[in-house]
Amino acid sequence: MKIGLDIGSTTIKAVVFDGAGQIVFRHYERHCARINELCASLLSRIDEQFPDGDFQLAISGSAGMGLAEDVGADFLQEVYATRVALKKMAPGTDVAIELGGEDAKILFLTGAGGLEVRMNGSCAGGTGAFIDQMATLMDVPVEDLEALSRAHERTYAIASRCGVFAKSDIQPLLNQGARKEDIARSIFEAVANQTIAGLAQGRPIAGNVVYLGGPLTFFSQLRDSFDKALGVRGVCPDDSLFSVAVGAAEHARQPVRLPEMIERVKRRVGRGNRASCPALFASAAEYEAFRARHDAHSVPTVFDPDYAGNVYIGIDAGSTTIKAVAIDEDRRILKSAYLANRGNPIPAVCDFLISFYREYPKAKVAGAASTGYGEALVREAFRLDGGVVETIAHYLAAKQLQPDVDFIIDIGGQDIKCFRIRDGAIDDIFLNEACSSGCGSFIQTFASTWGLPVSEFAKKGLLAPNPVELGSRCTVFMNSSVKQAQKDGASLEDISAGLSISIVKNALYKVIRTASAKDLGEHIVVQGGTFLNDAVLRAFEREIGRDVVRPNIAGLMGAYGVAVWIRETGFGHSNLLSAEELMHFTQTSETARCKGCENHCLLNIIRFDGGRRFISGNRCERMTRGARSELPNLYAEKRRMLRMLPKGSGARGRIGIPVGLNMYELLPFWNELFTRLGFEVVLSPESSHALYARGQATIPSDTACYPAKLLHGHIEWLLDQKPDAIFYPCMSYNFDEHLGDNHYNCPVVAYYPEVLRLNVPRLKETKFICDYVGLHRPKDFEKRFPKILDKYFPGIPAREVRAAVRAAYAAYEKHMAEVRARGQQMLSQARAEGRQVIILCGRPYHVDPEISHGIDRLIGELGAVVVTEDAVSPLVEKFPTAVLNQWTYHARLYAAAKYVAKCGDPGVNLVQLVSFGCGVDAITTDETRRILHEGGRLYTQIKIDEITNLGTVRIRLRSLFAALDQEARRHAKG
């Protein structure tokens, strides 16, 4: 008899074959990291059921590798095992798709290119664990996703790259009241897209497709999503859960005596060579002293039902929790609540208000306000008197406890917010980017893996002797680090402590980017629900080597701050719904298409009783606020200029040019060149997510930046236009603008045409001109280009080409001069009118609305004029930088920073757009920040990706404007 064991990241599966190769035993269960124990009992069961069996054994699966090594059993790599199994289970399969707990795999069995197996990269979520995580987020049992999904009406685009990204897309949807049914289906589609985008890499998935593994077995809706995305009808064979185990059994050659093997599995202990950190507390006494010190920092809380004075209510509608506080005239807390969001903040807030009215019948509400993700929704729903950006709320709260506070760090459920206070104003804001989660919900996810409430889970780590060293990266990585630690025998206690430490490291080194306490400040206040966890607090103090203040209401600080704010700024009376009105409170939601513009956003409309309503899902504010004349915006201007280029006759043919990356700037050059030569230039359209989806199957490297990956879609679109050639040259060098030490393009901009040529199969349908050109040497280029063109379009007289090249240089110069002139004019006009100006720094291609996600327009809505970095960079002389200044686009960025630092005008500020996955920006962000700080200016960074949660961006920008406002007021006073 043959035993196949498949120990995956979350489940353990086993099959037993009899002598004839028939399956006579199968077992499937979640192992919750208790691998040894479950494996031993499983083998014992097999031993009992088949007492006379002669067994051969093979082990497979990601968690099986270590076990097999330790107990001396044969190991079979799991993808390979799947392939072996398919020969038995589903002969004739062309492509198999297998999703597991943490892995996604595609096996190509037939066709050109031969056998090929692909596994997800270490950064790709979108798997079983991802689905689990999303179910937790939606607060439904994971099994219910199937039924929910069946009842879907529409779907939302959810970033499928990794769980963390998807989470930040789903959370706002939940908060905005989107239907769970629709979200469930959207999650399945995201998984299907992720698998296809990440693993197909240009190879077509067609023929007999087979679905394997847990998620695809349990969720027919997931299979359906795959069918739709692939345009096939895949099948899910019997025993699809057990394919790896079947493969292992099929391959089992090693004879084993079961009782002996069971003993070995039981005796197996971790190898104990894992890295660990010092214990958080050496003794219980030490912990007590620590508690006592922190208990001293508290906001007085009273219960006084007879209180008849003014009351101020603050509500912080966060991403995962709702915090509400009511304070009296002396800023004492009368009532507070810390509630789970459960996907809709409204009922929780409603309950809070009703019970407040009941408990304090005599009190007079003199002001109510909100903050957080759900600020606007809550404000509309309950007719609050105002709202304030979270950062200001937190600062006001911290100031109550520590008047000299100069640094605040807030770790909440989903985000980390840190800000420095200088001279009483918020100076520097750090928010975590989508990729560096490591916040409260992260530890919660792990706690639920062990079936523990988060507080209990965290407590276990306090006295752990050897906390695990887990590094400081994103959750997806953390999963495998935890897995490794378990494999090495780490206890739950040590893992819990390790996770707390990693949260702190993540905040310090990834978000704040600091190495020591002296960079933070003298008086540090830490807050947010996560800091209520003593292990995190201890790890933080230890890591920075300084005692900090943690208020007793650490989790309520946002709400407390808003209450303080409305007390200070309010009018003395409130419009808040009365107890009476709350009795009749109703809420209904519907969706509708916006007819305001060609975007046709799908709006989510929540209606409340009394005609109040809240609209979300809109990309602009036209519908909600009514049309308003838009402020000058150089991004919009640039987009307009590029679409107004002259058109050629097409006598010599049609040339397609993808509008992406550096083409955003060089288009005037190439358009002039080809138009002069009598070609018709066909431009690809403005990017959209749909365009991206068209090309995503041919992307070989999923971790490249979004602007680059978009090009695959542009090329597919151009191919459909059947041009005579597609022109997209490689360029190591850019124009030398004499601002830096060299004038390179970044590697991705320089060589992406090569990636397209090598990976987009359809490019063989046309001529793809991706030769290397050097525009930085005009004389040489003029000589060389006729030869390049001649390879594809022979017979064009060289003299004519040379003249066209000269005209192209002139057209480029003219275009750039126009951009600069327009930008500088906008800038001076805005300042003359007393408006804020934001220099929104990026690369030329960031004007693509699909890349910058309308951030330029958002800034306009917040009341500032937007200009680009290249409008001001020529105003700066070359200056020494602390990094090698070798890329043309980035030299402009440094120059723009220098301009802001030097200009002495507090109304001109810089915001840097950073593409996720842009390695170059790891260098530029720190340097830009340094240059601005030298001039005493604020630095603001916005990270953008495939899908950006504009909510976070809005907070960041509002905080920036609030800080500028504070600063201006302070100057006015002083």
Partner 1 sequence: MQRVEFTREMRDTYTVLVPDMLPVHFALLKNVFQLHGYRMEVLKNEGADVVNAGLKYVHNDTCYPALLCIGQFIDALQSGRYDVHRTALLLTQTGGGCRASNYIHLLRKALEKADLGFVPVISLNPSGLEKNSGFRFTPSLLVEALYSIFYGDVLMLLRNQAEPYETVRGATKAVLDRWVEALTEQFRRRAWLPVVRFKRNLRAIARDFEAIPRARAEKIKVGVVGEIYVKYSSMGNNHLERFLLEQGCEVDVPGLMGFLSYCVEVRIDDIDLYGGSKLARWALRRAMDVVTHFERVIAAAIRRNSGYRPAEPFRVAKSHLNGLIGLGCKMGEGWLLPAEMVELIESGVENIVCVQPFGCLPNHIVGKGPIHALRERYPRANIVPIDYDPSATRVNQENRLKLMLAVARENAAAGNEA
List, in sequence order, the alpha helices (H) in 159-298. Answer: 163-175, 180-199, 214-218, 220-230, 243-251, 258-267, 284-295
Residue selected from 359, 469, 621, 686 as contacting partner 1 according to rule CB under 8 A: 469
Minimum CB separation of residue 727 from partner 1 in Å reads: 15
- When the beta carbons of 641 and 923 are compared against partner 1, the nearer one is 923
Q: Is 883 in the site for partner 1 (CB under 8 A)?
A: yes
Minimum CB separation of residue 80 from partner 1 in Å reads: 4
Q: Is 852 helix (H, G, I), strand (E, B) or coil?
A: helix
Residue 796 neighbours by CB under 8 Å, 6+ apart: 652, 677, 786, 789, 790
Residue selected from 360, 560, 887, 894 as contacting partner 1 according to rule CB under 8 A: 887
- When the beta carbons of 137 and 252 are compared against partner 1, the nearer one is 252
- When the beta carbons of 114 and 451 are compared against partner 1, the nearer one is 114
Q: Is 746 in the site for partner 1 (CB under 8 A)?
A: yes
- When the beta carbons of 313 and 749 are compared against partner 1, the nearer one is 749
- When the beta carbons of 158 and 750 are compared against partner 1, the nearer one is 750
For partner 1, what does the binding mask look like between residues 166 and 205, x meaning CB under 8 A?
Answer: -----------------------------------xxx--
- When the beta carbons of 262 and 895 are compared against partner 1, the nearer one is 895
Residue that the structure tokens 């378990």 belong to: 486
Given a contact cutoff of 8 angstroms between Cβ atoms, the answer to whether 7 and 35 are in contact is yes
Minimum CB separation of residue 744 from partner 1 in Å reads: 4
Q: Is 253 in the site for partner 1 (CB under 8 A)?
A: no
Name the amino acid, one letter, at 950: L
Minimum CB separation of residue 929 from partner 1 in Å reads: 11
Listed residue (802, 809, 803, 771) closest to 786, CA to CA: 802
- Helices 163-175/475-487 angle, 10° precision: 120
Residue selected from 45, 49, 110, 122 as contacting partner 1 according to rule CB under 8 A: 122
> Within 275-314, which residues bind partner 1 (CB under 8 A)?
275
Minimum CB separation of residue 420 from partner 1 in Å reads: 17
Residue 173 neighbours by CB under 8 Å, 6+ apart: 156, 183
Q: How far apart are CA 476 and CA 130, in angstroms?
A: 9
Determine the interface stretch with partner 1 among 112-120, 376-384, 552-560, 575-583 (rule: CB under 8 A): 112-120
Residue selected from 136, 448, 688, 701 as contacting partner 1 according to rule CB under 8 A: 701
Q: Is 692 in the site for partner 1 (CB under 8 A)?
A: no
Minimum CB separation of residue 730 from partner 1 in Å reads: 6
- When the beta carbons of 21 and 919 are compared against partner 1, the nearer one is 919
**How many residues in the shown chain lie near partner 1 by CB under 8 A?**
88
Determine the interface stretch with partner 1 among 312-320, 343-351, 767-775, 853-861 (rule: CB under 8 A): 767-775
Listed residue (624, 19, 568, 113) closest to 376, CA to CA: 624
Residue 57 has, within 13 A of its CA and on its CB side, a CA count of 26
Minimum CB separation of residue 277 from partner 1 in Å reads: 9
- When the beta carbons of 217 and 436 are compared against partner 1, the nearer one is 436
Tokens of 655: 């040339």
Strand order across the beta sheet in which 416-422 lies: 425-431, 416-422, 407-411, 524-527
Q: Is 798 in the site for partner 1 (CB under 8 A)?
A: no
Tokens of 527: 């807050």
Residue selected from 31, 505, 857, 954 as contacting partner 1 according to rule CB under 8 A: 505
Q: How many CB atoms lie within 10 A of CB 187?
A: 31
> Within 480-499, which residues bind partner 1 (CB under 8 A)?
480-481, 483-484, 487
Q: How many CB atoms lie within 10 A of CB 51?
A: 7
Residue 609 neighbours by CB under 8 Å, 6+ apart: 581, 584, 585, 586
Rg (CA), the chain: 30
Q: Is 472 in the site for partner 1 (CB under 8 A)?
A: yes
Q: Is 509 in the site for partner 1 (CB under 8 A)?
A: yes
For partner 1, what does the binding mask look like between residues 75 and 104, x meaning CB under 8 A?
Answer: xxxxxx------------------------
Q: Is 748 in the site for partner 1 (CB under 8 A)?
A: yes
> Within 628-687, which residues bind partner 1 (CB under 8 A)?
none
Strand pairing class (116-119; 104-108): antiparallel
Tokens of 643: 């679409």
> Within 201-240, which residues bind partner 1 (CB under 8 A)?
201-203
> Within 771-790, which residues bind partner 1 (CB under 8 A)?
771-774, 776-777, 779-781, 783-784
Q: Is 800 in the site for partner 1 (CB under 8 A)?
A: no
> Which residues does residue 900 pair with via DSSP β-bridges, in sequence order?
none
Q: How far apart are CA 20 and CA 695, in angstroms?
A: 48
> Within 15-74, which residues bind partner 1 (CB under 8 A)?
62, 65-66
- When the beta carbons of 335 and 709 are compared against partner 1, the nearer one is 709
- When the beta carbons of 221 and 472 are compared against partner 1, the nearer one is 472
- When the beta carbons of 449 and 633 are compared against partner 1, the nearer one is 449
Q: Is 500 in the site for partner 1 (CB under 8 A)?
A: no
Listed residue (673, 749, 672) closest to 710, CA to CA: 749
- When the beta carbons of 67 and 683 are compared against partner 1, the nearer one is 67
Q: How far apart are CA 352 and CA 335, in angstroms?
A: 9
> Within 719-738, which residues bind partner 1 (CB under 8 A)?
730, 732-733
> Which residues does residue 4 pair with via DSSP β-bridges, in sequence order?
15, 58
- When the beta carbons of 316 and 921 are compared against partner 1, the nearer one is 921
Given a contact cutoff of 8 angstroms between Cβ atoms, the answer to whether 310 and 563 are in contact is no
- When the beta carbons of 455 and 480 are compared against partner 1, the nearer one is 480
Q: How far apart are CA 729 and CA 900, in angstroms?
A: 34
Q: Is 115 in the site for partner 1 (CB under 8 A)?
A: yes
> Within 566-585, which residues bind partner 1 (CB under 8 A)?
none
> Within 511-540, which residues bind partner 1 (CB under 8 A)?
513, 515-516
- DSSP codes of every residue in 412-460: -SS-EEEEEEETTEEEEEEE--TT---SHHHHHHHHHHTT--HHHHHHH
CA angle 155, 158, 163 (to 5 degrees): 135
Determine the interface stretch with partner 1 among 139-147, 667-675, 752-760, 830-838 (rule: CB under 8 A): 752-760
Given a contact cutoff of 8 angstroms between Cβ atoms, the answer to whether 299 and 333 are in contact is yes
Residue that the structure tokens 């490291």 belong to: 505
Q: Is 360 left (phi over 0), alpha (psi -120 to 50) or beta?
A: beta
- When the beta carbons of 293 and 513 are compared against partner 1, the nearer one is 513
> Within 895-934, which residues bind partner 1 (CB under 8 A)?
917, 919-923, 925-926
Minimum CB separation of residue 760 from partner 1 in Å reads: 10
Residue 136 has, within 13 A of its CA and on its CB side, a CA count of 20
Q: Is 792 in the site for partner 1 (CB under 8 A)?
A: no
Q: Is 755 in the site for partner 1 (CB under 8 A)?
A: yes
